A = this chain, B = another copy of it.
Amino acid sequence: MKRSDTPSDPRSHAPSDSTFAVVLAGGRGTRFWPLSRRALPKQCLSLGGGPTLLQQTVSRTGLPNERVLVVTGPDMAGAVRDQLPGVDLLVEPSPRNTAAAIAWAALEVERRGGSECFVLPSDHVITDEPAFRTALATAATVAESGALVTLGVRPTRPETGFGWIEMGEGDGSDCPVMRFVEKPPREDAERFLAGGRHVWNAGMFVWSPEALLDAVAAYLPGTTAMIKALRRGSTLADVWGLSEATSIDYGVMERASGIRVLPVKFGWSDVGSWSALLEVLPLGEGGAAIAEEVIAIRASGNVVHAAGKLVALLGVNDLIVVDTPDAMLVAPVGEAQNVRLLLEEVERRKLGRYA
């Protein structure tokens, strides 16, 4: 492909006054336990000091607060509200996966006069913000035609834990989506990486509320019934249960036709577990650390989170060490995905104060 992934002369414009962002902040992020808790989920953490992932997500859109909607759950609404004063929250009565939340948010954007809508996860890291904003603007232009647009991150490794998107032949910045492939086997992922026709599904979408709600109407009758009831003035709590508890990917994107994908490259990480800090943070003595001071002797590849403390590492490699005011975690980097096992044990022992 000749085109640039992050065109410097996009068919773009500054976001119009009717552009909104919907930020999905309902996830729990158990793999960052014990720093993340039920009332302080991953998106509310500051992994590198400074603004939290959620705050970074909102500020990265470049949109004013009144054109940002944050969808979250009742457990974490307090933390989200504290971090984003002046931003409207949409608090789900209960978790029903992303499709219902996104459909409801589309209705709320429509009610506020929004003509286009960025849908963004709240717990990812993006290092190249100008490239990100250029990509959003480009995708918004594509969405003007009524298409559902998904951003597809150029892959950098044969990751088997992500969903992949196969791109068809495009004639501009964007391409048709040929196929979604959820968590492929290793050999497929390697082929996808080598072939250059696949990108990662990062869960970032751009569309008009009308286009999204039309697609919902085609595939999710329960969610559509909920939207109709809301339009008639029903209370959310009364009709929330009508919606399908499914993801936007499975419920809509993998079924709808005419989906466009915009391949992008802007230093993206989903920061899926503690080990990801080795990619996201600058590497220093002993590994990637958030701490007041690190002393490392014969130590490398470690992930350390001990805000405000001196951390002394002697002869240890590839360890995760997390300190919080009431709990500590020590595990090899290779066990990062299994941290949830500890949280399960916390709950089994009825130590809910640590969950």
By a beta-carbon cutoff of 8 Å, the part of chain A in contact with chain B is: 34, 292-293, 295, 297, 306, 308-316, 319, 321, 323, 326-332, 334-335, 338-339, 341-342, 345-346, 349, 351, 354
Known contacts: A310-B351, A312-B34, A335-B315. The answer to whether A297 contacts B330 by CB under 8 A is: no
Q: Would you list 22 pairs from A and B whose C-beta atoms are within 8 A, ordered by A residue?
A: A34-B310, A34-B312, A292-B326, A295-B346, A295-B349, A297-B338, A297-B342, A309-B326, A310-B327, A310-B351, A311-B327, A312-B327, A312-B329, A313-B330, A314-B330, A314-B339, A315-B334, A316-B330, A316-B332, A321-B321, A321-B328, A323-B323
Q: Is the interface of A mostly helix, strand, loop or mixed?
A: strand
Give complex CA distance A306, B306 in Å.
Answer: 13
- Complex Cα gap A194–B105 (Å): 79
Contact A331 B310 (CB under 8 A): no
What B residues does A321 contact at CB under 8 A?
321, 328, 330
Is the Cβ of A341 less than 8 Å from the Cβ of B311?
no
Q: How near does chain B come to A293, taking the closest CB pair, in angstroms?
A: 6
CB-nearest residue of chain B relative to A315? B335
Q: Is the CB of B306 within 8 A of A342?
A: no
CB distance from A18 to the nearest CB of B (A): 48
Q: Which of B34, B312, B339 touches A328 (beta carbons < 8 Å)?
A: B312
Cα–Cα, bound, A310→B306 (Å): 15
Select A330's contact among B312, B334, B342, B354, beta carbons within 8 Å: B312
Q: Contact check, B323 vs A328: say whether CB atoms are below 8 A apart.
A: yes
CA distance A350 to B310 in the complex (A): 13
Residues of B within 8 A of A34 (CB): 310, 312
**A310, B310: Cα distance in complex, Å:** 20
Say whether B345 contacts A295, CB under 8 Å.
yes
Whether B309 pairs with A328 at a CB distance below 8 angstroms is yes
Nearest Cβ on chain B to A29's Cβ, whole angstroms:
16
Q: When chains A and B are docked, how far (Å) is the Cα of A94 from the Cα of B332?
A: 45
A349 vs B292: C-alpha distance when bound (angstroms) = 13
In whole angstroms, how far apart are the Cα atoms of A338 and B310 in the complex?
17
Contact A310 B295 (CB under 8 A): no
The 10 A-B pairs of least Cβ separation, nearest first, read A314-B331, A310-B327, A312-B342, A315-B335, A312-B329, A311-B328, A295-B345, A310-B354, A314-B335, A316-B330
